[in-house]
Structure 1
Amino acid sequence: MNTHKLQKANILIVDNQIDSLKLLSKILEEQDYQVRQAIDGEMALIAVNTEIPDLIILGINLDKVDGYQVCEKIKKQEKMSDIPIIFLSNFDDYGQKIKALQMGAIDYIIKPYQQKEFLARVNNQINLSLKTQQLKETNHNLEQKLKLIEVSQQFNQKIPLESYLLYEAIAATNNSIVITDATASDYPIIYVNPGFETMTGYSLEEVTGKNCRFLQESDRQQPQLEEIRHCLQQGQPCHVTLRNYRKDGSLFWNEMSLSPIKDESGKIIYYLAVQTDVTDKKRANKEQQRYEASLQKMNRELHELNRKLYRLANMDGLTEVANRRCFDETLEQEWRRLSREKKPLSLILGDIDYFKRYNDNYGHLGGDDCLKKVAATIAKAALRPADLVARYGGEEFAVILPDTPYEGAKQVAQRILESLRRLRIPHQVSDVQPYVTMSLGVGTINPSLETKATCFVDQVDEALFEAKKQGRDRFKGVDKQTS
């Protein structure tokens, strides 16, 4: 468990409700916690096995493996049984609460939750967890010191304490210790410690006199074996990771450090091999890769979902230009920004001439097709990425032109009119031309926080009305720039 400072505590949040997951992560990350996420029970178990967290915030109703099963699997593992778990629930259900506590949870939070209360509960459990860990470490150190004193008193001066400690260390280590005779052919084994017997299932009597290659059985096509042979020939130490097999035939990954031991004359008389079972580490690395791949997939899906939601919220479904909501928000943002930067803002409002007649004559499907073509034409005329083309109303369109003077806005308006004329969408019931035309209002202003953007929109709308009044298929402008 993580024993760093409070702000470095590692917290795993497991919840299949994405909004809740993102909110809790944001709250905890703002408090400098290290936060990991999982959206289902299976991903949660992978994350816990990859790196043991200091605290788990666990939803109950999860996909694949529910929260109770996740809690039960964690609590059954000795190395994870002390992880504090706080359950999250959508309902204040007495039965759920009792079941969660019986499963080993230390707290139970009901949604919706207050941020201060939530942080207080998390901070309290992290503090308790770290203090418990410190107390265990202190007790372990005291026990070791007491054992050393008892051993020293028992043996007194019969054997040197250093020799006894060395023997005890070799016997007690979980690592495998193997000593081979370097003076004999084929480097036969002359000693293995109890750790070797536990790791492989072979006793000292079974392996004495054998070469260590028997641990690879028929799995001899490993480049690391050639590396070992080379180091033996050169009398050099080496460090490799091998695939070995236990007495029962099961595979385990063995990380081995091989060191030569020399006599007083410098001759190598033994080789000492310290072996570590890194199977769990290998598995954890694979599971971490799987977890990271799953997390990357989830992030890609979330990104795509957010992109689609943004499009749905800000795009007009028929014409595929911005909708009125997006227009209002963008105009307000640009108004404030250009007010600060003292730069001009231009706006074009356009209306398709006699569009009601067009709909009546060509039908609503024909009208929809006309709106799509007009929107695409306007979008091509607005050349810069910062310009926004929006469907303002039924047959009305708007173009926001940030940091654009009046002359530039007039050029855009002229391009729109000329492009529509070249397009020549038939409009036999128009009083202007036998094809679709537009009337435009053009305006430019230096925004000020003392005035509202809607007032400027009204002024441009008046210019549009004047264009219609003067015969349509034209633009009229209003320049409100101040020096």
Structure 2
Amino acid sequence: MEATLTNPETLLSLEERIRELEIENKSLAETCHNLATSQKKLEELVAASTKKQLAMEMQSMELEQIFSSSSDPIWVVRQDGTIVRANSAMLRLLNRTHDAVVGHACHDVFDFCSRDSARCPLTQAHLPQSFHEWDIECPNAKGESDFYMVSTASLVTLDGSPGIVGHFRDITIRKRAEAALEQANTALSHLARVDALTQIPNRRAFDEALQAEWGRLAREEGPLSLVLCDIDCFKKYNDHYGHQAGDKVLRRVAEALADCARRPADLASRYGGEEFALLLPQTPLEGALSVAEKARQAVEDLALQHPTSSVKPILTLSLGVASVIPSLHIAPTTLIESADKALYQAKNADRNRVVPAVCSSPTSLNL
């Protein structure tokens, strides 16, 4: 045995075997290390996957809570119009049970939708550059109208089919406030253009109408006539009967003059104090004189007693008439000035008469 161990060849063989074992041990150690590393990575991946799965489940639970507890109506509709989900607020809006909504076509439970999917706003949300937000009006249980702002977005439903989520935001209070504001603005605009005493258009309304008609008829080359009216000896009437009686007279005269301006474009207005104006678009001088005489006679026919008048014992009018074809190169005030001069002539000629203006303008119709 000792001789064998001392044999050089045997020793060499043992050394080689030892080296082989060392290499094998090293390889085995590396393999164990790699396995341990791989196991650690696998454990990390499993932990990350579990964490991600938990996060997704938490997110899903949060979304479910938001969907269920939202005070705004929300539903999910397939592209073919079938309702797959609806929260409690949506059921209240539709005034239906869960089973009467989910699984049914949206157009069967909501008049807002259309059987023709090409015209249904919900299905249109799938199209590129489609309209995704709009307002709708829905009747409520009281027979009144509620308003909702509808927002839609595309999604993939739980079964993998394309669908739409629809969100309904109640904007009834806002809509009613907007309507009330619009009504208030309309009323305010009306009040700003109506004389408080006589309830016919005031000077502001007259000025706006004159400006508008002047521009229009300048383009159309049509005639525009103006009749300025003044109640004769009105100060004496007020002094004799008092201002309250004078206010009643102004209202009666306003009514009579308004009856003489019957065409849609005609305007009878209170020009100021006891003066009134009749604006007559597309009316030549002859027509304006006829309207003026009709107005004068209408006031005289009222037979309002005026014992202190120097004209007649009843209320009368003096009227001045001017008529021109407007031009953008001439100011509208020229028409007023001409009618005012004619009115002055009527008052200086014993009153209770109609006097046409003598204008120097080349566009005048009453040269």
Shorter-chain TM-score: what band? 0.5 to 0.7
Match of 1:373 among 252, 276, 296: 252
> For 1:326 and 1:320, how far apart are their aligned partners in 2?
12
Say if 1:242 and 1:327 are closer, same or farther in 2 by CA, change over 3 A: closer
Where in structure 1 do 4 or more consecutive aligned residues deviate above 4 Å?
Answer: 167-175, 194-200, 238-244, 252-258
Equivalent residue, structure 2, for 1:357: 236
* Inter-partner Cα distance in structure 2 for 1:198 and 1:467: 84
**1:324 Cα deviation after fit:** 1.9
CA gap 1:406/1:174 in 2 versus in 1, 3 angstroms: farther
Matched, 1:322 2:206: no
Deviation at 1:413, TM superposition (A): 1.1
1:239 & 1:173 partners in 2: Cα distance?
25
Structure 1 residues 410 and 253 mapped into 2: Cα distance closer, same or farther (>3 Å)?
same
| Structure with more contact order per residue of length (Cα contacts < 8 Å, sep ≥ 6) | 2
| Aligned CA distance change for structure 1 residues 174 and 309 (closer, same or farther; 3 Å) | farther
User: Do 1:446 and 1:482's aligned partners in 2 also have CA atoms closer than 8 Å?
Assistant: no
Aligned residue for 1:425, secondary structure, equals coil
Name the SS of the counterpart of 2:315 in structure 1: coil
Q: Which amino acid aligns with 2:198?
A: T
The corresponding residue for 2:293 is 414
Counterpart code for 2:365: Q
Distance change >3 Å, CA 387–CA 241, structure 1 → 2:
same
2:354: which partner in 1? 475
Structure 2 unpaired stretches of 5+: 1-37, 44-48, 66-81, 89-96, 105-156, 160-164, 359-363
Equivalent residue runs for 1:136-151 within 5 Å: none
**Consecutive unaligned residues in structure 1, runs of 5 or more:** 1-149, 156-164, 176-193, 201-237, 245-251, 259-272, 276-280
Secondary structure at the aligned position of 1:392 is classed as: strand
SS of corresponding position for 1:357: helix
**Equivalent residue, structure 2, for 1:81:** none
> The residue matched to 1:441 in structure 2 has which SS?
strand
Query: Of the candidates 309, 315, 320, which is equivalent to residue 188 of structure 2?
Result: 309
Indicate the SS of the match to 1:301.
helix
| Equivalent residue, structure 2, for 1:450 | 329
- Structure 1 length as normaliser, TM-score? 0.43
Render the CA deviation track for 1:271-321: whole Å, top value 9, x for unaligned.
xx959xxxxx88x52xx2x31x22221221221221222123222211122
Give the counterpart letter for 1:452 in structure 2. A
1:424 aligns with 2:297: no
- Deviations 1:124-174 (Å, cap 9, x if unpaired)? xxxxxxxxxxxxxxxxxxxxxxxxxx9xx969xxxxxxxxx9x99999866
- Residue in 2 aligned with 1:300? 179
Change (3 A) 1:174 1:358: farther
| Greater C-alpha Rg | 2
Match of 1:234 in 2: none
Paired residues in the alignment total 236
Give 2:126's aligned residue: none
- Say which of 411, 429, 433 aligns to 2:312: 433
User: Is the alpha carbon distance of 1:199 and 1:333 closer, same or farther for their aligned partners in structure 2, counting shifts above 3 Å?
Assistant: closer
Alpha-carbon contact 2:323-2:366 (below 8 Å) kept: no
Per the alignment, in what secondary structure is the counterpart of residue 347 of structure 1? Answer: strand
Which position in structure 2 is the counterpart of 1:112?
A: none
Residues 482, 449 of structure 1: CA spacing in aligned structure 2 closer, same or farther, 3 A cutoff?
farther
TM value normalised by structure 2: 0.55
CA distance in 2, matches of 1:381, 1:198: 71
Matching of residue 398 in structure 1 with residue 277 in structure 2: yes
Answer yes or no: is the 8 Å Cα contact 1:335–1:448 preserved in 2. Answer: yes
Q: How far apart, in 1, do the equivalents of 2:318 and 2:240 lie?
A: 20
Separation in 2, partners of 1:475, 1:400: 15
Relative distance call for 1:414 and 1:482 in structure 2 (3 A) is closer
Structure 2 counterparts to residues 173-192 of structure 1, below 5 A: none
| 2:211 pairs with 1:338 | no
Contact (CA 8 Å) 2:256, 2:299: kept in 1 or not? yes
Are 2:194 and 2:200, in contact at CA under 8 Å, matched by a contact in 1? yes
Match of 1:263 in 2: none
SS in 1 for 2:195: coil
Residue 416 and residue 274 in structure 1: after superposition, are their counterparts in 2 closer, same or farther (change >3 A)? same
